[in-house]
Amino acid sequence: MQKFILGTAALALFATAAVAEPAAPAAGVFIKSQTAEEYLAKDHLIGVKVKGPDGKIVGDIEDLIVTDGNTVVGIVMGTGGFLGMAEKKIGVQLSALKFEDAAGALSVSLPEATKEALDAAPAYERAQPKKSLWDRAKEKAVELKDKTSATTTDAVEKAKPALEDAKKKAAEAYEAAKQAATPAYEKAKEAVGGAVDAAKEAAQPAPAPEAPATPAPATP
């Protein structure tokens, strides 16, 4: 019976998952795919090496400078140092960079990036301090918590109709099984009762035999 109930619930859940359709997304909000004229900054810009006027690498693009109107006005470039150590970060106007498509790969150069110019360039100053690893870890923890909570809530809501239907079917199956088993249970009960009575009678001790009568003595 328990296997039947669990099987019914599982089938109901799978059936619900199969027919459930996601709601249509709001128009004008999401972007489905990338067009041929678009590129992703993380793929073709962030991390790209910047070459100087002699064609040698002078730095790499580490970040974009974006206004509050969502316009990219420049980049933050890391230059100098070794393996990221003692590296100086400088801000560069977007208009000062030269972008070229070389065999399907983006090539970025800074014609004014002579050694003297890079040495004289001021280090880029942030308006707000960079987030610490601890702050990033806390944000990530909150993000994971929110995503997990939303996913769990959505799954529970979708499963509720199937669970209710499974509970109803299980209750119906239980009642049907109980009704079908009642006659057999009553017969078994009667048989057990009869056997108990018979056993009781068999266990009663047999009556003791009567002693023979003693003859009266003869009169002289």
Examine the domain organization and report whether 65 and 55 are in the same domain.
yes
Which amino acid type is present at position 38? E
Q: Which residue has the higher pLDDT, 86 or 64?
A: 64
Full residue range of the structural domain in which residue 176 is found: 131-201
On whether residue 109 sits in a domain, the answer given is yes
Examine the domain organization and report whether 112 and 87 are in the same domain.
yes
Is residue 205 scored above 90 in pLDDT? no
How many domains does the chain contain in total? 2
**Of 30-34, 44-48, 88-92, where does the model show the most confidence?**
88-92
Examine the domain organization and report whether 75 and 112 are in the same domain.
yes
Last residue of a domain, one of 112, 130, 148: 130
Examine the domain organization and report whether 107 and 141 are in the same domain.
no
- How far apart, in Å, are the Cα atoms of 144 and each of 89, 131, 147, 155? 32, 18, 5, 16
Tokens of 176: 């049907």
Last residue of a domain, one of 85, 115, 130: 130
- Give me the pLDDT at residue 20, please: 52
For 161-204, the pLDDT digits (tens) are: 877 888 888 888 878 877 877 777 777 777 777 776 777 777 77
Instruction: Identify the weakest region by mean pLDDT among 102-106, 146-150, 210-214.
Output: 210-214
What pTM does this model have? 0.50
Report the alpha-carbon distance of residue 121 to residue 75 in Å, rounded. 14
Examine the domain organization and report whether 58 and 100 are in the same domain.
yes
Residue 65: strand pairing partners: 74
Examine the domain organization and report whether 80 and 97 are in the same domain.
yes
Last residue of a domain, one of 130, 162, 185: 130
What is the CA 103 to chain-centroid distance, rounded?
A: 40
**Of 22-36, 49-63, 104-118, where does the model show the most confidence?**
49-63
| CATH classification at residue 126 | 2.30.30.240
